[in-house]
């Protein structure tokens, strides 16, 4: 399993994105609170923006509408990964693992970076329940996946429409995104990203 981590701290302007009445987001209630499913019709109508906001710039073949049972599984799989990665960040940052063929200086630098990621992941885990949750069904290489779009963005309304990073992110420690593509059949996550450092808001 390969993870691609994208961490961005650049600031973008604030804007909103609203759903039409005929393709409004579907509200479901998880243990962590309300969550919103992005219907196939809504995703198809916002394909260009949605694709741009998904880490890894995937070639999306189409969309589908996840069920409540689907998002419950996706949320659990993603949560378990974050908990495990907070203990062992090499799950998400395999390139930072100690390399017996590297120089001592390179391993020291990698260890320092790994410690920083461990701290960030521990903060993400401790703030996990604060994230609003949105779920979009993607079809990539004929495989049905669920894209988890989690956010802490005080000025964004996750019930009104899909929240695009490019429109709401601010690098002042108030806005945070946590994203992943989840294969609910294989119970795996890929292309995990966290945008907006909790360390900045803790200082």
Domain ranges of the chain: 21-202
What's CA 181's distance to the chain center, in Å?
Answer: 8
- Among 147, 182, 160, smallest CA distance to 18 is for 160
Q: What is the pLDDT of residue 82?
A: 95
Whole-prediction pTM: 0.84
Q: How far apart are CA 175 and CA 154, in angstroms?
A: 7
CA 84 vs CA 88, 122, 137: distances in Å: 6, 10, 25
Question: ∠ at Cα 195 (193, 201), nearest 5°?
Answer: 140
- For the chain of 203 residues, list the mean pLDDT of each consecutive stretch of 10: 37 34 80 91 92 86 96 96 94 87 82 92 94 96 96 93 90 90 96 90 62
End-to-end CA distance of the chain: 34
């Amino acid at each position: 399993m390969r993870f691609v981590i994208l961490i961005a701290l650049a600031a973008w302007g604030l804007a909103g994105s609203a759903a039409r009445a005929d393709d409004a987001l579907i509200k479901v209630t998880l243990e962590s609170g309300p969550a919103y499913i992005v219907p196939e019709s809504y995703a198809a109508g916002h394909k260009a923006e949605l694709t741009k906001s998904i880490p890894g710039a995937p070639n999306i073949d189409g969309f589908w509408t996840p069920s409540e049972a689907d998002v419950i599984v996706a949320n659990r799989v993603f949560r378990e990964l974050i908990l495990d990665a907070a203990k062992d960040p090499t799950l998400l940052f395999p390139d930072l693992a100690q390399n017996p063929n590297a120089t001592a200086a390179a391993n020291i630098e990698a260890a320092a970076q790994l410690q920083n990621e461990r701290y960030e992941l521990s903060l993400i885990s401790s703030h996990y329940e604060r994230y609003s949750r949105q779920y979009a069904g993607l079809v990539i290489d004929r495989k049905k996946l669920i894209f988890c779009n989690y956010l802490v963005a005080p000025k964004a309304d996750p019930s009104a429409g899909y929240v695009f990073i490019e429109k709401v992110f601010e690098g002042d420690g108030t806005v945070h995104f946590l994203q992943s593509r989840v294969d609910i059949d294989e119970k795996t996550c890929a292309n995990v990203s966290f945008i907006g450092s909790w360390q900045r808001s803790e200082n």
